[in-house]
Amino acid sequence: MQLFPILRTACRHAGDMLRCIDDAIMPLRCVFCGIRSTAGEQHICEGCRGDLPWIANACGRCAQPVAFELPQGVHCAACQKRPPPFQSTVAPLRYEFPIDAALKALKFGRRLHYAPAFGELLIAEMQRFSVEIDALLPVPLHWRRQAMRGFNQASEIARPLAKRYALPTILDVTRRRATPFQSNLAAKERSKNLRHAFVARKSLDLQHVLIVDDVVTTGATTRFLAEELLRNGVTRVSVLAIARAT
Ligand SMILES: [Zn+2]
Ligand SMILES: [Zn+2]
């Protein structure tokens, strides 16, 4: 009966332990080229940062790249046709090499030293949200998947943000069922799998919540998560991710 909380605690400890070991054995070098950091606490050197696949112009609502810079308050055709439940999305990079490889290494290869580097990238993007943020919500994993992986990658990349901006992290939203690996599914299937997947265990009296994820693909995950937040007392939702799959 008490098995689930015990497993949850156990996998949180396993994640902490892996992170400590990684911190101890990995000196502060650029996570992409391996050159030792000369500029203080940087996990990505200036050269590699400049070479990353930055998105020049994107829709402010869903982060989908667009050909030209859109005027303030004007969103892409898809958002105009079907406005998403979140007000804004920032996902500064394309899901291309080396970001795709690094995110997969973090997620599936347990290369946790990428997490503070991605956290560093996200910290720099926070200034793009014009409305003050009250709390972070890393996209929850189902407890079984988190137990298998030992950590939640979204929580790992959100941790430096929470620390830097002294923001609380919402722990009362859970993923109700294990969905098949989303990367293998078509958009329609993803959407079907995610409906009712997230549950807020209590009412959240918050003005503005920032959902944090590693990569935004179709936006279905963040859409359903945002809807659950709005149903449970949150007034406004925004999204921050490392990359946008296009
Ligand atoms: Zn580098
Ligand atoms: Zn859009």
- Which tens digits make up the pLDDT trace of 152-186? 999 999 999 999 999 999 999 999 875 555 555 56
Which residues lie closer than 8 Å to 190 by C-beta, 6 or more apart? 182, 217, 218, 220, 221
Q: Which ligand is located closest to the Cα atom of residue 63?
A: 2
Which residues lie closer than 8 Å to 148 by C-beta, 6 or more apart? none
Provide φ and ψ at 27, rounded to 5°: -70, 165
For residue 181, report the distance from its CA to the centre of ligand 2, in Å. Answer: 25
DSSP 232: T
For residue 18, report the distance from its CA to the centre of ligand 2, in Å. Answer: 37
CB 194 within 8 A of CB 52: no
pLDDT digits (tens, 9 = 90+) for 101-115: 999 999 888 898 899
Of 81 and 20, the one with more pLDDT: 81
For residue 8, report the distance from its CA to the centre of ligand 2, in Å. Answer: 36
Cα distance between the two ends of the chain = 43
For residue 30, report the distance from its CA to the centre of ligand 2, in Å. Answer: 33
Residue 197 is predicted with a pLDDT of: 87
d(Cα 39, Cα 232) in Å, to the nearest integer? Answer: 43
Which residues lie closer than 8 Å to 35 by C-beta, 6 or more apart? 29, 45
For residue 28, report the distance from its CA to the centre of ligand 1, in Å. Answer: 11
What is the Cα Rg of the chain in Å?
A: 18
3-state secondary structure (DSSP) of residue 207:
coil
CB 58 within 8 A of CB 144: no
Which residues lie closer than 8 Å to 40 by C-beta, 6 or more apart? none
Q: Is the peptide bond before 98 cis (omega within 30 degrees of 0)?
A: yes
Residue 175 is predicted with a pLDDT of: 93
The answer, yes or no, to whether residue 193 has pLDDT greater than 80, is no
For residue 43, report the distance from its CA to the centre of ligand 1, in Å. Answer: 8
Q: Which ligand is located closest to the Cα atom of residue 223?
A: 2
Q: Which ligand is located closest to the Cα atom of residue 31?
A: 1
